[in-house]
Amino acid sequence: MNDRKNSRDDGIERYHGLDPDADPVEQMKSIYADWAGSYDDDNDNKLGTISQPNTVILLTKHLPDTASVILDVGCGTGLVGKHLLEAGYATFDGTDLSPEMLTFAATRGYRHLFPADAAKGLPVQDNCYDAALCVGVFTHGHVGPEGVDMLLRVTKPGGLIIFTVNEGVWKSEGFDRAVNRLAYAGRIEIVEAVKQDYMTREGVSAWYIVARKTEQN
């Protein structure tokens, strides 16, 4: 018997079995470095993840102007970009913690791709995107609710932030409170908040939030 784990399976296994004692950023970098080459196949055939097309459908519904300038935060291998292109959007940038994941995104139509830790801040000016998307990043062990403020910062007043939150962290990590606090403070208007399928082969749903950044920011 082969006593060495098949590296083809390392990324997804480690995604499922996060080490609570590990440094969160180093753990993410290491998992996605392992997973980048098989991520798209696992997304479709093991996890059955449909958050990327679902999010782009929400964008087309609420921001149909395909000349909009979009930032995809935690873009990974660029599956959101693939759906943006198919929907006719032409100008979108992507950022991710993992340089290995970004390598795969390079073929998917992004204008600029750059590595950054979204939990610490992005090297992007305030108020410069018509929409900021963040898909599959607000989940176990990834980025907490502080990431929502970062999406808001880079979005123009009147622009949209659209993001998914895994149902397993929605309350436990305080995403519900963070979103409600921003709405109560008048910094966002919630345009749509819907719980939908996310990882269909795992039976996991997510909250999909569409919010408009107000002038009061």
Task: Using CB atoms within 10 Å of the CB of residue 34, give its burial: 0 to 12 exposed, 13 to 18 middle, 19+ buried.
Answer: buried
Are 157 and 214 in contact, with CB atoms under 8 Å apart?
yes
Shortest approach of ligand SAM to residue 3 CB, angstroms?
A: 29
CA dist., res. 105 & res. 100, Å (int): 9
Question: Under the criterion CB under 6 A, does residue 169 sit at the interface with ligand SAM?
Answer: no
Question: Under the criterion CB under 6 A, does residue 132 sit at the interface with ligand SAM?
Answer: no
CA dist., res. 206 & res. 160, Å (int): 19
CA dist., res. 46 & res. 195, Å (int): 21
* C-beta of 45 vs 180, nearer to ligand SAM: 45
Residue at shortest CB range from ligand SAM: 76
Instruction: Classify 148 as helix, strand or coil.
Output: helix
Question: Under the criterion CB under 6 A, does residue 137 sit at the interface with ligand SAM?
Answer: yes
CA dist., res. 168 & res. 138, Å (int): 10
Residues 81-120 that bind ligand SAM (CB under 6 A): 96-98, 101, 117-119
Name the token pair of 2.
Answer: 């082969």
* C-beta of 163 vs 179, nearer to ligand SAM: 163
Shortest approach of ligand SAM to residue 188 CB, angstroms?
A: 21
Question: Under the criterion CB under 6 A, does residue 136 sit at the interface with ligand SAM?
Answer: yes
Are 60 and 124 in contact, with CB atoms under 8 Å apart?
no
Question: Under the criterion CB under 6 A, does residue 75 sit at the interface with ligand SAM?
Answer: yes
Shortest approach of ligand SAM to residue 119 CB, angstroms?
A: 4
Question: Under the criterion CB under 6 A, does residue 76 sit at the interface with ligand SAM?
Answer: yes
Question: Under the criterion CB under 6 A, does residue 152 sit at the interface with ligand SAM?
Answer: no
Name the token pair of 98.
Answer: 């993992």
Give me the residues that bind ligand SAM (CB under 6 A), please.
28, 32, 43, 51-52, 74-76, 79-80, 96-98, 101, 117-119, 135-137, 142-143
